[in-house]
Amino acid sequence: MNQKFGCLLLSLCMLTPCVGSTAFAADGVTDETETVVAEYDSAEQTTYLNDDVAEQMLDTNDDVWESGTSINLAQKELAPATVAWTAGYRVQFQNAKEYQSVQYGRGTISSSGCGPASLCNAMYAAGIADVDLPIMCRQSVACGARYYGGTNETILLKAMAPKYRFAYTATNSSAELKRHLRSGGVAIVHAGTRYPLFTTSGHFMAAVGIDGDSVNLIDSYWYDGKYTRTTARRNYTKIVGPGVIRVSLNQIEKATADRRPHYYLLSKIYPSAADNGDAPFTDVRQNKWYYSHVVGAYQNKLMAGVSATAFKPDTLLTRAMSVQLLYNYEVQRNPSICSSNAAQFRDVPQDVWYRKALNWAAQAGVTHGVGNDSFAPGSAVTREQFVTMLYQYVHGQNDADDTVLDVFPDRQQVSGWAADSVNWAVKNGVLSGKANGTTRVLDPDGKMTRAEAATILLNFVRMLAKAA
């Protein structure tokens, strides 16, 4: 076996000390949904609403609170919230006297604490933080979010986001709510009073799960296991258990129609590789499928960032970058390497930054271009093109039979010229496919991202080390 190792890093990247790694890695998982967030004082971003719409955020219960009523939660000890577990969800209820509990039908509905309670329940469900309701109520008062009879949820979220490291987006789109919940996120739903289809008053609730178009809501207005529903409401809600109800997305749309925004989508902010001290990249988050792969590629000198702190995992890798990666490692192993002017491609000028790398790659048989005397240097390299370069880099001999690809539903999409390379890559654990719903696919003509390249390169080097 040729002992070449593919150290593949962009020409503008710096190397760091090498640390060993173990185990093969899958080469990509797709369908990662991530809430896009805007700025706050750290490097993160959070979306805020303008202050001029703040009054619209107030969830008031005028039938309970009289004008001028006030409560100084910061100056008194608050009774702990009643807590229950329902269908795997922990629910904190608003039942302390300080929250002005009042009778509503057969049940007792507590006013004034739904904003803090919904945030506590949502954060716990998302694994963001475990905060007792009395503490959140004090913080709500301290940040100016509490008013008589209600909470300005935007002010509360703006104050708590950097403290508990989460991001939020305010939206009126039910489609966005649905996508966010299906991706594992949580949300706060702002139900109004015009269409009390499943609530006993206008208030905030935590949306913590979705099944089809049915949403699980944690309702802190549940008290002592009772929930008041009119006959009409029984047609719209299903009681999962104390504090948890299931409601259709269609009914949520109606119930939030007189509130702006309808929803707050919450996302946990995970530490970056830089936060963990694994690599200097602030844009590689611990919850991403590629985290360990990028860190491994960096620590093994296979790839580095596009700047001192950025890796740009979702950026596409071009064909020029691909040959430069291979060339950089070859130079590291053999500083005296020389190459002839072997690459005569009509679309590659003589003075471009990757010219030496391309000359070497053409001479070594790593690449032969795309036909018609062209190399297409600026084109994104495809997955089958990339593994073909690796295959040719080690002068591979394919001894795998075609059956190794049988597990992939898109195996027929592999180009004829790439068949041996892809077979070899799959058999040797270099390529293991990417997630596509419940199956894995080769996606041979898919464009290669830097995260995918890091994963495949790490697998490639581990394969060579194992065979050495």
Q: Is the pTM of this model over 0.75?
A: no
**Burial class of residue 351, CB neighbours in 10 A (0-12, 13-18, 19+):** exposed
pLDDT at 338: 72
pLDDT, residue 193, reads 79
Domain residue ranges in the chain: 51-268, 278-467
- CATH class of the 51-268 domain in this structure: alpha beta
User: What is the residue-level pLDDT of the chain in tens, covering all 468 positions?
Assistant: 444 433 333 333 333 333 333 333 343 333 333 333 322 222 223 333 333 333 333 343 333 333 333 334 444 455 566 777 878 888 888 754 444 443 333 444 444 578 889 999 999 999 999 998 888 888 887 888 876 557 889 999 999 999 999 999 999 999 999 999 998 899 999 988 787 777 666 789 999 999 999 999 998 876 544 455 555 566 677 888 878 889 999 889 888 888 888 999 999 999 999 999 999 999 999 989 999 999 998 998 888 899 999 999 999 999 999 998 888 878 877 888 876 666 678 899 888 999 988 989 988 889 888 888 899 999 999 999 999 999 998 887 666 677 889 999 999 999 999 999 999 999 999 999 998 888 899 999 999 999 999 999 999 988 888 887
Q: What is the pLDDT at residue 467?
A: 80
Q: Which residues pair with 216 in a beta bridge?
A: 209, 246
For the CA atoms of the chain, what is the radius of gyration?
A: 28
**Three-state secondary structure of the chain:** CCCCCCCCCCCCCCCCCCCCCCCCCCCCCCCCCCCCCCCCCCCCCCCCCCHHHHHHHECCCCCCCCCCCCCCHHHCCCCCCCEEEECCEEEECCCCHHHCEEEECCEEEECCCHHHHHHHHHHHHHCCCCCCHHHHHHHHHHCCCEECCEEEHHHHHHHHHHHHCEEEEEECCHHHHHHHHHCCCEEEEEECCCCCCCCCCCEEEEEEEEECCEEEEECCCCECCECCCCCCHHHCEEEEECCEEEEEHHHHHHHCCCCCCCEEEEEECCCEHHHHCCCCCCCCECCCCCHHHHHHHHHCCCCCCCCCCCCCCCCECEHHHHHHHHHHHHHHHCCCCCCCCCCCCCCCCCCCCCHHHHHHHHHHCCCCCCECCECCCCCECEHHHHHHHHHHHCCCCCCCCHHHHCCCCCHHHCCHHHHHHHHHHHHCCCCCCEEECCEEECCCCCECEHHHHHHHHHHHHHHHHHHC
> Phi, psi (5° rounding) for residue 399?
-115, 15
Q: Euclidean distance between the first and final Cα of the chain, in Å?
A: 7
Please report the pLDDT score of residue 318 as a whole number. 94
Contacts 24+ apart (CB under 8 A), 294-297: 294/451, 294/454, 294/455, 296/21, 296/25, 296/454, 296/458, 297/454, 297/455, 297/457, 297/458
Q: Cα separation of 300 and 19, whole Å? A: 6
The owner of tokens 């750290």 is: 42
- Amino acid type, 117: A
> Nearest-CA neighbor of 202 among 218, 191, 187?
191
pLDDT of residue 18: 34
